Homo-oligomer: A and B are copies of this chain.
């Protein structure tokens, strides 16, 4: 009943032919769009606003992108590509330094700092990713998350190496990696709460202490605490009943 009746036109490719000009235009528009998406959200930003911010007419935006959604896609892709490159560099560095016998702690911190600085570089896009991930198709989302998983794997690998070298206690490697990832990303996602660090270097300088705390945290002492914990039974028990 609802079957397609009319011939659909194939959606045509971007209209601008000059490759260099096309890319420049895309970047100009995407940059304007990113700012607006960030402050107002993707859905609250109209193409007209983007065009205005990029000092273009509405029509021109569609000479560079075939749809509004492609702008978002472009931003994510850019993010993706950059991440891939850095990931590759990091892995190479890691292999090289490991061979040189560099201290695992230092080794980890070097790679981790690199990641934190990447987050800083891509701050806008990371936030955009958090906000608009629900809008993506699962395929697109998959690609984005795959990137993260590869990062986490790299971190886990390095931590495992540290464990092997007795630099860190064993156990909970995956959660440690996850937490360090989250803390790095929080520089972008909750940047408003970290205003006291004016630059990412300042942030990292402080963060690395906590990071080492995480890496060196051990299960032994904690179990002991847990034992104590049970003595405050009433309160702890009541907590268990909170969530439905």
List A residues at the B interface (Cβ < 8 Å). 1-7, 9, 11-13, 15, 36, 38-44, 48-49, 66, 69-70, 72-73, 76, 93, 97, 102-103, 105-106, 109-110, 113-114, 117-118, 120-121, 130-137, 139-140, 145, 148, 152, 172, 174-176, 178-179, 182-183, 186, 189-190, 192-194, 196, 200-201, 206-210, 212-219, 221-222, 225, 228-229, 232, 235-236, 239-240, 242-244
Minimal Cβ-Cβ distance residue in B for A200: B243
Q: In the bound complex, what is the Cα–Cα distance between A39 and B140 (angstroms)?
A: 15
Q: Is the CB of A40 within 8 A of B183?
A: no
Q: How many copies does the complex hold?
A: 4
Q: Assuming the A-B contacts A110-B232, A183-B179, are A72 and B209 also in contact, with contact meaning beta carbons closer than 8 angstroms in the complex? A: no
Contact A201 B240, beta carbon cutoff 8 Å? yes
* Contact of A135 with B209 in the complex, beta carbons under 8 Å: no
The CA of A179 and the CA of B121, in the complex, are separated in Å by: 21
Which of B49, B201, B232 is in CB contact (< 8 Å) with A102?
B232
14 more CB-based (< 8 A) A-B contacts, given A178-B186, A182-B186: A2-B40, A3-B139, A5-B140, A41-B43, A43-B135, A44-B134, A103-B228, A105-B225, A106-B225, A131-B133, A182-B183, A208-B222, A209-B217, A214-B214
A243 to B44, Cβ gap below 8 A?
A: no
4 tightest CB-CB pairs across the interface, nearest first?
A213-B217, A41-B134, A43-B43, A213-B213
Secondary structure at the A interface, as helix, strand, loop or mixed, is helix
CA A135 to CA B114, docked complex, whole Å: 32
Give A183's nearest chain B residue, CB to CB: B179
23 A-B Cβ contacts within 8 A?
A1-B36, A2-B13, A2-B44, A6-B136, A12-B48, A41-B132, A43-B135, A110-B232, A113-B239, A117-B239, A117-B242, A118-B242, A121-B242, A130-B130, A148-B193, A152-B193, A175-B210, A209-B218, A209-B222, A213-B213, A213-B216, A213-B217, A214-B214
